[in-house]
Structure 1
């Protein structure tokens, strides 16, 4: 058994959290993630990643096998339950993730740092497409929140959706403002200006 717990991840934390409620087999975990809307913040699109996470948690002693069953409708299913070490680890991970902002490297900021490969017009058109996609995403999040509220779910179960709404709304507002500045010529550049800047920076 591993003495060192696996590194925290959104999926690993979610698996431990769901097993706090009741023992589950991997398919049950995946179904609950989707039924509870957690696929918005946890990637379970590939079942293999879920099984690898479960294997790591089991190898570290954070979960253990409760039983292995089989019936006529389903193949053999291993049911897992969380251990005391898993409960302690989940709590530690949760407090760390909530309390300490972590340096992350999402695609969008990386793309923004290299957008000088495009012309101002191309950049405006590209960000316009992103704004349209963000607006559609925001509509979907709003619909989801209304549905969750209609189901009578307590607000604590909707906080991640509220956060996604706030972040998406803020990004949409920012992208639209940048597009507006690009269209108005308040953000502009030319290859000559960039070449001169790069040459000057290289001589420092």
Structure 2
């Protein structure tokens, strides 16, 4: 089942019984970059009552009610991201309290609706899992292999030159076996694939 990220950040603002809910949903690489965005929002909205968030980022997912009653903000926001099959995405909602209590059910609806409103205009893009392929080749094969990597639109992440040429290529996980076979053909079997040291 595919997962998606966003092509760009999206936002929305809702006024619910005098409270302002400002939603921002952004694509993020990891939890560290998500925390940077949250810190930035806290600095930008110092007068806000709450800055709640939900992060879908594989093993780094998380959420915060930021002082709202437990389970009324972060979890509902996370559920919206799950429902949209999103990953690598941070949803934040800044709330300015307007003086009227919404109750637990009202808060769940407000935070859910704020994120859903932002996502109405979102362009989803399919997330493709990338893997690293380490390559060792002779100098004679370097230009040919580099040209092939470029033609496939893969990412040449690193290269080093010693007695052999070592290249590190990022490519979609599903293309790994075919890439190895194509590179063996291209170098008439001279290429080597040392395993990556974790």
TM superposition score normalised by structure 1: 0.30
Higher strand share goes to which structure?
Answer: 2
Question: Quick one: higher RCO (CA 8 Å, sep 6+), 1 or 2?
Answer: 2
TM superposition score normalised by structure 2: 0.30
Higher helix share goes to which structure?
Answer: 1
